[in-house]
Structure 1
């Protein structure tokens, strides 16, 4: 104590009296005991004055700031080193230094800006934090916790305001910092926290008990030296006075003292009391509490009896002498030791670990219990987990009636299922510990792990039942019902009850997930692979007749398939999402390609959205394999995909079918489906199962839902979206089924070509078509086309002259704006094919128009044989063009349209409509010779059509304008006076051998016609002038006739080749082949 302590204490305010000091002192009567000399226990030493108030100023306040900072940093570094060493232990120096530096930086003043909890807060900030916790507790409906926090904080503030003791450990100034520390270290409230809060509130409302006042009356009513007020009297330790009595005789004391010290140690309730202190007072000696000797002996016997049963203790020995006795054929316990003594361990060929097994024996029923422990994954003394498997060790006890080899063989057989089940437990633990947001942890994987856990719980229950039966039999609780307790019996029971089920399941786990239980494959591939492997295993063991294993695998398979089955049900009920991005599970065999993303599902209007917005997962793009689809779902995957898209499209169209769908919705779990269909439970069902059987079962369950949604959408497409009206418009436009209107449009277009004007002008094409449509419309007539949806344009080459070749029409483009959702049926690709057919028909009509304008007329008596050649060629060209046009319009277009209309009326889904339309258009394109395998025949037809145009120009060059001039003999005679127009017309006559060369080259490469080659042409492009002699004109006409004959014959042979095929088009091409046979007549 400092010398100035007394002086300072005189100026210090007096401390308030405590409740103990305010209690009235007890006035006890004078007794002889009160005259005893004072002791250290009874002497009261006054408390010295506190030195806290007189503490001198610290020298640290006078140090420079840099020295103070260095000292604090050094002290903090030492503390951080102790902290890091206690947390991470002995680590390498680099890691240790990094951790110490991090802790020092975080706890120092430099880290206060990075660590919010390191900033010292004031009283208001801490109060605001507590109010926040109170509000959070009330939001979470934890009113008791909120009230407890509010009341305790309020009481703390009251106590701080009233208590101004300078000697207390926590200063009022530092209380906000302490509260901040407690809030930073606090954990989220638990059930114990809530219970403590409720108890705290209850303690505040209860009235405190009034302490009892000790009086002489109460003291005299008690036994001598009893009661808490006697504790510590005469220097005796607390509790030594209670139950004290004076011994009646010395014999009693000697009987107690004669007990063995070991016996006294066995009693847990006995206490070693100190020897009473010697006192000059004549008071009797005080002895410790005595105990009944018989009770101590009985306790020791019970302990020894329990220890005699603890066979797992290392010092335990079997209480029989069969080990050292000779072999007795009537005593099986002498077999093991005898064989070991006779043969020795080295001569048995055992592993090294077995040759060093200790000679420690236990009973077989105890060994069976230990093996049951091992089967349940618990610690035991028979099998030990080492190097990833259960095996015996040198500490494994032996059985008297078994040799080392036989015991090792039996335990090895029992260790195999132990190891398999333990690995499955590890796999289950790995799955359940995986973070939930990880893509590798799918719902199917969780269901598979849960199914494995259920099977292992059945395994543990079976083992516990066996152990219970053994214990009951040993204690005579249950009657003996033929219970056999042996290792061989246990192995047989395991094999008969479970077979190799867990070994098979472990093999499936390792095949799919590997030894480290991880895979980098996509979730859908993992799910499909897992379910397929399970199903293959079921089939394999059913074929072997091992129904026990198949039943266990079937239960696991059914429970593992339930998540995927539920995904299929939600897809069929809710359909595809409109405007959602990847709204399906990664393991589902249907995936979203993101085309429908955007506000209000803008991608839905894309013509390719139906085909590419939601598709099946094709994981193997090179082979086209469906690794993301389980085998038993592949046959129904396409209808399921279409059904979900149909439901989503109906929602997008605003067609409400929820009520009808809910009325017909009766989704059943897969386990219930299997149970009902097979008439057996989940474990025994589907024993005649195969992939086809399960696939048929799933198909029959899902087909009604697919048909229901598909029929709703198909009806909406026909009735609400006017499918037939738009289909008729497309057929009337592109296939020229509206003959009168399209014929007028073609005539106007051909007239522009004949006058060599700009016929491909955008405004001319659309204005001409509009005029034709409006001219054909009369009052009361039904509108066959909506003009705002039709547009003509020309995107071809301007170099091709329409008067020389029909290929100039290739650039003509006809567009029709199909409304949504018919764009899924009439896609841009299909409209392009329609456009090709339209242009081909337009080219044929162009040649027909040109030939019809040639009028061979005049006085036959005057003409003679000169014009017969022109007339013959014109007749043959007209016959071919008319035959070809009639074939295409009647036997191809008209017949195919009738078949298509009949098929589409019976369509039950959107996908079926699209498929039928694509097949219809493919047939039209093939029969019109517009596909790649008929390119040679198409070029042959174009050459004949171009020949018609050149024939017209030759006729005009020789005879003038046939529409205005009379064809006579004089018009064919060469005159010296010729007009400039006739001269230009003669110079424009060229051959068309270039087309024939193209035909020849194409026919050589055509696989359909083998060695058939198109005939060569003798016309050359250089023939720009025409001879003035009549003989030259006749020669050119003869060559044109011969070339025409060769081209038609080539076309006929091609048609005959196509007619000889086995497809549907054979009959159609047979018609044109038969018709072209009349060419030779």
Structure 2
């Protein structure tokens, strides 16, 4: 309510000072409108960057209008303002900009003279004094006085007293200490015992009631000792300073206890007990914090935390000493008060009690995670203080946190700069394998992130987001070193420019308690590591592209495995298919296969022939030659191996090349099916009876050829080509090697899924291979029909030659005989017309094709509806067209 009343008064004052002609009713109406506007307003603070842009715009506008003096004056004062800004500076500048009217045109530089502070008076000098009031030496007052000219009685007395050998001292009480007869008792003067007795009576802690009487009689029967409030105050301050006292004791657990037989005049026993108990609790917490800060440890971060606590305990002790000094001087504090002392002690030790709560949590935590627990508890306490609006506690804990965090940053900085780890870095979350790994798996297997039993990162929880970037930066430096590039310690400029301190993190934007600490810390820490990470990653990316041949290796894999050059790839495939069709067992010989690929790809610049090897995993001499010829599974025995450079092998591992090889076999199987169909020449006959049988042959051939073309177009154009273009684009945009590996793994996974090579799509892939196997069976049926047709044509030709000779020897002019001869000729000729061989097999193959094609079409259609993949939708439509008779 007080805040609202203050705002209302300020609004009313602003209205009256702006418009002086308003009546009281109008002022009240305007004030009500303004207050409603403020209540309904959604914006809380002015955008300081927008205000800065407007001011810079005014400076630029003044220069454009050829008013450089005004622009210089504004620029000078903006620079001066940046060093004296407060949290309300953006609001004040925004108000001035809103109230301004044509500032560039109507501003007068002469008015700036009125803003200059008055000049300070010049220093007073003797020359100025003498010029104003010259010395008058008429009375000789500045001459030196000769005191030896005139004597006096005092001088004589001084001379007499100053002479050491004038006369011996004849004092009867004087004792010559150097004499042998001197006694120690003669040096002690008797004193009054009354003052000593008063002092001993005031030392209540020496009384028997506090020492032995309590032990003998118990607390209930022990006599009560009454103290003054000043004595209680002094004892309390001594206890808080961890000094021994009489009214406070310490048990074995370190808790501070109060004596129950201590009382204070004019204060009830219950009240004084509760008050002293409050002091005892505070003193116990301080005592445990002191004890915790003095324990021995070998962990650097814990040592830093102890040193930071000790420095803050020293400030607490200074505050308590000031209180004690004030009470020791009664003229400054005539009436000591335990209640006042309690308020002051709570104020001084408030944040140290928060530190005590942290140490209690640390005692109950794991010793292996002590360093992380210190940082995490401090971090949580900062956020808690900020959420409660405790600005002092927020600053106190934040400074303590950043002091300790600097120690934690040392191994992180060393790892990011040099890629080195120390065995003493127990707080580091990066580990190294005991054995050296091959260079082709350096990035993946040599270093790893340390995790606990619950699979959580061995690091403070507020670093889990950025830990991976830190990890990759160090690995990039190590990778560059193995490539022969030493980057040195140039990363210091990034760390020094973005120091992680309280001032740079929490006070940089001057937002105070408005911005959450977690966001401020995340932004600052990300800026602290981003520069070094970007530098190392960009350098490594450049090396992989320019010197290690990343794009060249990708091109080689496309040419070898994905038939990128169709002419060369089909040439290799057709030569291989010819050997298989002829039944040559040497087709699977490793030397023959390797020589074939080397001869074909010898002119391709991106392929290193020494790294290319082709072999068959099955011994062809022990296999069925007919099975080799008729089954598509034969091609799965081919294995193509292409050795990549070790830097590229870290990005494209061997398991990815296995997927490449499976795609190559899939393409080879499709090409073989198409090769078999294209090599077939369908028969032509004028006989209607034969044409009805050949219709099955034409129909099945057309449907198989359509399916083969659709699958080949789908794999090459819609899957391999499109996915490879996206992969290369994303590879160039990757920020580090891990991102490049992730891009390629996603690419391989996508190819495996789109080519139906995953475990989930295995039935579809098997159905496609079964349809491709039909082309082999169809080729057998077609070959059998062609061979029988040729035999029938040969027999018919021989018969016709014989009958022609017979007809030439017989002279018959009868039309009836001619008609009978023609019928006989047709009948005998039809005996040699070949019927379509294995018509039942063709029908069965057509049925099998329809079933497999229907299953594949339905499965692809369902997958396209479920996942909305464009390539699957296009394949589904193409298969639907090819399924029509």
- Tell me the TM-score normalised to structure 2 length: 0.69
CA distance in 2, matches of 1:310, 1:554: 45
* Shift of residue 604, structure 1, vs aligned partner: 5.2
d(CA) in 2 for partners of 1:567, 1:918: 32
Matches within 5 A, 1:581-660: 585-596=425-436, 603=437, 605-607=439-441, 609-621=442-454, 624-626=455-457, 628-658=458-488
- SS of the equivalent of 1:751 reads helix
Where 1:497 maps in the other structure, the secondary structure is helix
Structure 2 unaligned regions, length at least 5? 1-168, 211-216, 797-833
Question: Is the CA contact 2:614–2:640 (under 8 Å) kept in the aligned structure 1?
Answer: yes
Q: 1:451 aligns with which of 304, 308, 313?
A: 308
Within 2, Cα distance between the matches of 1:299 and 1:606? 97
2:218 paired with 1:368: no
- Equivalences for 1:940-979 in 2 at 5 Å? 940-960=767-787, 966=790
Instruction: Find the counterpart in structure 2 of residue 314 from structure 1.
Output: 207
For the pair 1:851 / 2:677, whether they are aligned, the reply is yes
- Conserved? CA contact 1:576–1:647, under 8 Å: no
Residue 878 of structure 2 corresponds to residue 1075 of structure 1: yes
Partner of 1:412: 277
**1:837 lines up with 2:640 in the alignment:** no
**Aligned runs of 1:333-732 on 2, under 5 Å?**
355-394=220-259, 397-430=262-295, 432=296, 434=297, 436=298, 442-471=299-328, 473-474=329-330, 476=331, 480=332, 485-499=336-350, 501-514=351-364, 519=366, 523=368, 525-576=369-420, 585-596=425-436, 603=437, 605-607=439-441, 609-621=442-454, 624-626=455-457, 628-658=458-488, 661=491, 666=496, 668-672=498-502, 674=504, 677-678=507-508, 688-732=515-559
Mapping of 1:1020-1035 within 5 angstroms?
A: 1033-1035=838-840
In 1, Cα distance between equivalents of 2:235 and 2:793: 126
Contact kept, 8 Å, 2:375 with 2:404, in 1: the verdict is yes
| 1:838-987 equivalences in 2 (<5 Å) | 838-861=664-687, 863-960=690-787, 966=790
Q: What displacement does 1:554 show?
A: 2.7
Counterpart contact for 1:674–1:685, Cα < 8 Å = no
Q: In 2 relative to 1, CA 526–945 (structure 1 residues): closer, same or farther, beyond 3 Å? A: farther
* Range with bigger deviation, 370-379 or 539-548: 539-548
* Number of residue pairs aligned between Structure 1 and Structure 2: 668
Structure 1 residue 910: Cα displacement: 1.5
Q: Secondary structure at the match of 1:732?
A: helix
- Which residue is equivalent to 2:162? none
The verdict on how the C-alpha distance between 1:1034 and 1:630 changes in structure 2, with shifts beyond 3 A counting, is same
Unaligned runs of 5+ in 1: 1-244, 257-268, 274-285, 318-351, 437-441, 597-602, 973-1028
SS at match of 1:866: helix
Please name the residue that 1:145 is paired with: none
Instruction: Sort the Cα spacing of 1:857 and 1:483 in 2 relative to 1 into closer, same or farther, 3 A.
Output: farther
Contact 1:760 1:793 (8 Å CA) reproduced: yes
Structure with higher RCO (Cα < 8 A, 6+ apart): 2
Contact persistence 2:669–2:772 (CA under 8 A): yes
For the pair shown, the structure with the greater C-alpha radius of gyration is 1
What's the RMSD between the two structures over aligned residues? 3.6
Moved more, 849-858 or 582-591: 582-591
Answer yes or no: is the 8 Å Cα contact 1:354–1:393 preserved in 2. no
Contact 1:639 1:706 in 2 (8 A): yes
CA distances 1:471-518 after superposition (whole Å, capped 9, x unpaired): 2x23x4xxx3x786322212111223332x34443333333332xxx8
Relative distance call for 1:316 and 1:619 in structure 2 (3 A) is closer
Distance of 1:763 and 1:706 partners within structure 2: 47
Going by fraction, where is helix more abundant, 1 or 2?
Answer: 2
- Measure the CA separation in 1 of the matches of 2:452 and 2:594: 49
- Asked if the contact 2:251/2:257 (under 8 Å) is kept, the reply is no
1:824 aligned residue (650, 654, 666): 650
Q: Aligned to 1:371, what secondary structure does the other structure show?
A: helix
Give the Cα separation in 2 of the matches to 1:361 and 1:455. 35
Alpha-carbon shift at residue 422 of structure 1 (Å): 1.5
Structure 2 contact 316–348 (Cα < 8 Å) conserved: no
Q: Is the 8 A contact 2:443 2:479 kept in 1?
A: no
Q: Do the aligned partners of residues 287 and 708 (structure 1) sit closer, same or farther apart at CA in structure 2, a change above 3 Å counting?
A: closer
Counterparts of 1:745-764 in structure 2, within 5 Å, are 745-758=572-585, 759-764=587-592
Helix, strand or coil: the match of 1:378?
coil
Q: Structure 1 residues 673, 548: CA separation in 2 closer, same or farther (over 3 Å shift)?
A: closer
Deviations 1:895-919 (A, max 9, x none): 1111122222222321221111111
Alignment correspondent of 1:789? 611
Q: Deviations over 1:553-596 (max 9, x none)?
A: 3333222222222222222211256xxxx657121122223354
Tell me which moved more, 932-941 or 795-804.
795-804
User: How big is the shift at 1:711?
Assistant: 0.8
CA gap of 1:663–1:549, structure 2 versus 1, over 3 A, is closer
Partner of 1:771: 599
Task: Supply the distance in 2 between the matched residues of 1:470 and 1:246 (Cα, whole angstroms).
Answer: 49
TM-score (norm 1): 0.57
CA deviation string 1:419-472 (max 9, x = no partner): 112222222232x2x4x3xxxxx322222222222222222222122112222x
1:1045 has 2:878 as partner: no
The separation in 1 between residues aligned to 2:795 and 2:406, in whole angstroms, is 91
Q: Secondary structure at the match of 1:884?
A: helix
Once the 2 structures are TM-superposed, how far is the Cα of residue 417 of structure 1 from its aligned partner? 1.4
State how far apart, in whole Å, the 2-side matches of 1:785 and 1:503 are.
71
Q: Tell me, yes or no, if the aligned pair for 1:796 and 1:808 is still in contact at 8 Å.
A: no
Counterpart CA distance in 2 for 1:971 and 1:738 is 48
Query: How far is 1:391 from its partner?
Result: 4.1
Report deviation, 1:790. 0.5
The answer to whether residue 158 in structure 2 is matched with residue 296 in structure 1 is: no
Cα distance change on mapping 1:413 and 1:291 into 2, 3 Å: closer
- Give the secondary structure class of the aligned counterpart of 2:613: strand
